[in-house]
């Protein structure tokens, strides 16, 4: 299918609110189109949100697909190009506007090289904002101010993660008040709370949990609640860490491998 035809069918159409949700009906078409055009971005994936989907690369959200339209993250510098083409900011619902996301111009959608360039600029803008908001800190800074029992429990959780992934990158994030881990993808975090510690898993909704120790934290994230004075479910936690390390984001390659496995199973 020609690029212009794909753009017209996938991105420019309207969706009646009475019909089934957008992402459920045309997910395969949207994913195929965007992965074809943006698959060169690191760990590109779509995540369901707003009745549509968020565009992510390397764990950072830089775009939105909603009601048949695609939007990219902007900053004061990149927003000018969108406004010059008379593109509008994202409105998830009446009376609400996300002014940092603007609709992608049709001519950009129609050109693979241009779309990739604009997407990279948006990813840079989103990454810069995320880093500014989060402000990396040392793990010790994240733990400062918590009661000794919570600090001690958090240190035990850190030790368990380091044992499971000795080469993982550890960093504190002030904005989220947690200690995160990458190996190479972002797979878990330790988040101290006033009376407990959360050992969280970025893609926890995809992890096997036969012991039922995971609690929900949004649609995707799951965590194990660690409480001072109670034993840590080590067997379950170590099993989850191994699974998390082996569960990369739902990017293009992961989807391709899953398709191949499904075909082999049918045979």
Q: How many Å is the maximal CA-CA distance in the chain? A: 62
Rounded Cα distance between 114 and 260, Å, is 31
pLDDT above 70: residue 239: yes
Q: Do the first three CATH levels of 3-134 and 136-245 match, i.e. the same topology?
A: no
Q: Which of 94-98, 130-134, 149-153, 237-241 has the lowest mean pLDDT?
A: 130-134
| Predicted local distance difference test score (pLDDT) of residue 265 | 55
Q: Specify the higher pLDDT residue, 128 or 112.
A: 112
pLDDT for position 96: 81
**What's the confidence (pLDDT) of residue 118?**
95
Interval 173-200 mean pLDDT: 93
Contact 224, 215 (CB under 8 A): yes
- pLDDT of 43: 85
Burial class (CB in 10 A: 0-12, 13-18, 19+), 212: exposed
Options 3.30.1460.30, 3.40.50.620, 3.40.50.720, 3.30.465.10; CATH of 3-134:
3.30.1460.30
Q: Using pLDDT thresholds of 50, 70 and 90, give the confidence band for residue 13.
A: very low
Res 74 pLDDT > 90: yes
Task: Kindly report the average pLDDT of the chain as a whole number.
Answer: 82
Instruction: Tell me what pLDDT residue 5 has.
Output: 46
Measure CA 194 to chain center.
26
Residue scoring higher pLDDT (199 or 137): 199
Range in 46-55, 158-167, 235-244 the model is least confident about: 46-55
On the question of pLDDT at 250 being above 80, the answer is: no
The answer to whether 227 touches 152, Cβ cutoff 8 Å, is no
CATH fold, domain 136-245, is: 3.90.1150
Q: In what order do the strands lie in the sheet with 169-173?
A: 136-137, 169-173, 178-182, 186-192, 197-201, 221-226, 214-217
Q: For 121-154, write each residue's pLDDT tens digit.
A: 999 998 887 666 555 788 999 999 999 999 999 9
pLDDT at 198: 98
Least confident of 72-76, 154-158, 172-176, 178-182: 172-176
Q: What confidence tier does 156 reach under pLDDT thresholds 50, 70, 90?
A: very high
Whether the predicted pLDDT of 30 surpasses 90: no
Q: Pick from 182, 177, 169: which is nearest to 133 by CA?
A: 177
The domain limits of the chain are: 3-134, 136-245
Which has more confidence, 190 or 185?
190
pTM: 0.50
**Average pLDDT, integer, range 206-228:** 95
Q: What is the pLDDT, as a whole number, of residue 266?
A: 56
Query: Which of 22-31, 45-54, 102-111, 224-233 is predicted least confidently?
Result: 22-31
Neighbours of 204 (CB within 10 A): 24
Residue 21 pLDDT exceeds 50: no
């Amino acid at each position: 299918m020609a690029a212009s035809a794909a753009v017209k069918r996938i991105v420019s159409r309207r969706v009646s609110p009475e019909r089934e949700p957008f992402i459920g009906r045309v997910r395969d078409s949207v994913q195929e189109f965007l992965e074809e055009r943006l698959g060169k971005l690191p760990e590109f994936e779509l995540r369901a949100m707003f009745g549509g989907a968020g565009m992510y690369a390397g764990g950072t959200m830089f775009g939105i697909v909603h009601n048949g339209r695609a939007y990219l993250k902007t900053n004061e510098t990149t927003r000018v190009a969108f406004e010059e083409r008379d593109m509008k900011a994202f409105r998830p619902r009446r009376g609400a506007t996300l002014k940092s996301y603007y609709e992608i111009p049709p001519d950009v959608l129609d050109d693979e090289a241009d779309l990739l360039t604009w997407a990279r600029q948006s990813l840079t803008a989103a990454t810069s904002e995320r880093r500014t908001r989060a402000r990396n800190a040392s793990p010790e800074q994240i733990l400062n101010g918590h009661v000794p029992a919570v600090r001690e429990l958090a240190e035990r959780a850190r030790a368990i993660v380091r044992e499971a992934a000795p080469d993982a990158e550890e960093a504190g994030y002030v904005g989220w008040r947690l200690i995160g881990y990458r190996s190479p993808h972002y797979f878990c975090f330790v988040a101290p709370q006033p009376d407990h510690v959360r050992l969280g898993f970025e893609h926890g909704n995809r992890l096997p949990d036969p012991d039922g120790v995971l609690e929900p934290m949004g649609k995707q994230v799951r965590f194990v609640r660690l409480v001072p004075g109670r034993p840590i479910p080590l067997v379950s936690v170590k099993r989850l860490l191994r699974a998390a390390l082996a569960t990369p984001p739902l990017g293009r390659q992961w989807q391709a491998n899953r398709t191949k496995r499904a075909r082999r199973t049918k045979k």
